[in-house]
Structure 1
Amino acid sequence: MEVLNGTDLPVIDLSLFPSQNVDQNQLESHEFTKLRQACQELGFFLVVNHGVNPSLIQAVDGRIRDMFALPTEAKNRAIFPIFNTGYCSSIVDDVAKDSIAESMSFPWDQLLPNSVEKISAKLWPQGNPVFCEELNAYGAQIRDLSHRILKLLVWSLGVDVSSQSASELFEKSFGTVRMNYYDKCTDKEMISRPHTDVSFFTILYQDDVGGLQIRTKEGKWMDSKPLPGSFAVNAGDILQMWSNGRYRSAEHRVVYGKSNRNRLSMAYFFDLLDEFEIRCPKETIDQEHPQLFKVVTKGDTVAYFKKEGPNMATPLHFRLQ
């Protein structure tokens, strides 16, 4: 399949957006138009001037690399029975075309309170307070950033942030940070399993190794170049459904191994509690855009994902007949 090399994602400068309610003129501004187009066409964009401390990002990057360097027996102690929590070892098939990175997931808020401390205690029974302090600080700053991005996404769809349909996104949300470690491979190219994210949206830190690829509407894989100091943001399946199909949850993957360097990414999944009803706001429905999806809960989508795996079909499965 053809790959488009070295393509730049749209860059969204958060300092150019208002922090309070917006009027119609602002919604029609260049920046909001650019954001809408990115969500509609690619489902991916980069954010700069995001407010997360660069020194903290680099400190956490180093701590996470040290964590993945721990002995396997130590990391295996951090396996949890809760979905998308704790340690997961890497999986590579015979031809390295369906691999899954080694990962460690830290859910914040309701899913597993004090997850950093609980997982850290498994990894380092003697304690590691600096790791906990830095990772909790990073999680807090990313959480704040996720709320800023959520407001912009809601506004961009013409929905009032204070409306009931939007306020529930804040009230019934939580976040999970998943650290993905792609071990270097000198003898063959590795390709992670193509997937969409079963979340509302994802904020992704990636180092300068690169390797992220996005499938375009035309079915081609597009290389995405890392931009220092930025985060990549992509729409998830739930945002596609909540926006009545206006925003696109794009299939993506990572190609790695050729650089002979380890690759680290840190994905923050802005997600919703299982009882949240995915009901598209009335502002997204009109004659040209009839309602596309059934009203289901987030728990319904998780159950489907657990049964079928990351097969890029979650929104399609819940479409109205």
Structure 2
Amino acid sequence: MQELMNMIHRMIIESLGLEDHYDSHMNSLAYSIRFSNYYKDTLDGRINLALPSHKDPNYISIICPHNVEGLEVKAVDGQWMQTIPMTNSFTVLVGEAFKAWTNGRLYAPTHRVKLNSGIEKRYAVVFSTIPNITNDIICAPKELIDEQHPLLFKPFKYYDYVKFRFSDEGERVDDALKTYCGV
């Protein structure tokens, strides 16, 4: 999984023309794995949610859904799209740290887990990249800032942002990243 995650980071960095930043970016990463067990226990109107809508604060999440439906991603137009798990496949989501690092060039989607009537539980393995604890400053490379792409987010410490993001104040705002460090 780490090799796959590194390949995804490399593809993104190269697609942005930032090959010179690859080594320093990769050296600033830590890896996380989480085993999730979702139950129907939250109601959002008439929709049974196992995990309410949210954005991931990290760089990237790779989700292995074990062929069980339920993950939905909100499109830019506001419509919820159900992901369809395929055998031996993963779902890759960009997080807010990568959105800030790329000066908004990557989109961090809102997503949720909704369990249909016939499903009571959903298991998933989530592998993520996060900034390492000793190098957690998120700052867009200067190459991604120009007249057409003005700076969107001030440099920030990731773990300070995560504290804000999951605070009462951070939970109340529509866009925690923009509220915390938006220009």
TM over 0.5: yes
Letter in 2 for 1:203: I
Query: 1:290 is matched with which residue?
Result: 150
Equivalences for 1:74-85 in 2 at 5 Å? none
1:174 aligns with 2:30: yes
Larger strand fraction of residues: 2
Unaligned runs of 5+ in 1: 1-141
Runs of 4+ in 1 over 6 A off after TM superposition: none
Query: 1:97 is matched with which residue?
Result: none
1:319 aligns with 2:182: yes
Superposed displacement of residue 311, structure 1:
5.8
Letter in 1 for 2:32: T
Superposed displacement of residue 271, structure 1:
0.7
Instruction: Pick closer, same or farther for the CA change 1:213–1:312 going to 2, 3 Å.
Output: farther
Equivalences for 1:215-294 in 2 at 5 Å? 215-260=74-119, 262-274=121-133, 275-294=135-154
Equivalent-residue separation in structure 1 for 2:47 and 2:132 (angstroms):
37
1:197 aligns with 2:56: yes
Larger helix fraction of residues: 1
The higher radius of gyration belongs to: 1
Superposed displacement of residue 211, structure 1:
1.0
Higher relative contact order (CA 8 A, sep 6+): 2
Instruction: String of CA shifts for 1:163-202, please: whole Å, max 9, x gaps.
Output: 2x432321121111111112468xx852121100010010
Count of residue pairs the alignment pairs up: 174
Superposed displacement of residue 261, structure 1:
5.0
Equivalent-residue separation in structure 2 for 1:286 and 1:257 (angstroms):
46
Instruction: Pick closer, same or farther for the CA change 1:158–1:181 going to 2, 3 Å.
Output: same
Calculate percent identity across the aligned residue pairs. Answer: 25
Indicate if the aligned counterparts of 2:70 and 2:116 stay in contact, CA closer than 8 A: no
Secondary structure at 2:166 match in 1: helix
Secondary structure at 1:233 match in 2: strand
Please tell me the root mean square deviation across aligned C-alpha atoms, in Å.
2.0
Aligned partner (choices 157, 160, 177) of residue 300 of structure 1: 160
Letter in 2 for 1:176: S
Instruction: String of CA shifts for 1:195-219, please: whole Å, max 9, x gaps.
Output: 0001001011002220111111111
Indicate if the aligned counterparts of 1:201 and 1:270 stay in contact, CA closer than 8 A: yes
Unaligned runs of 5+ in 2: none
Indicate if the aligned counterparts of 1:209 and 1:261 stay in contact, CA closer than 8 A: no
Equivalent-residue separation in structure 2 for 1:205 and 1:311 (angstroms):
29
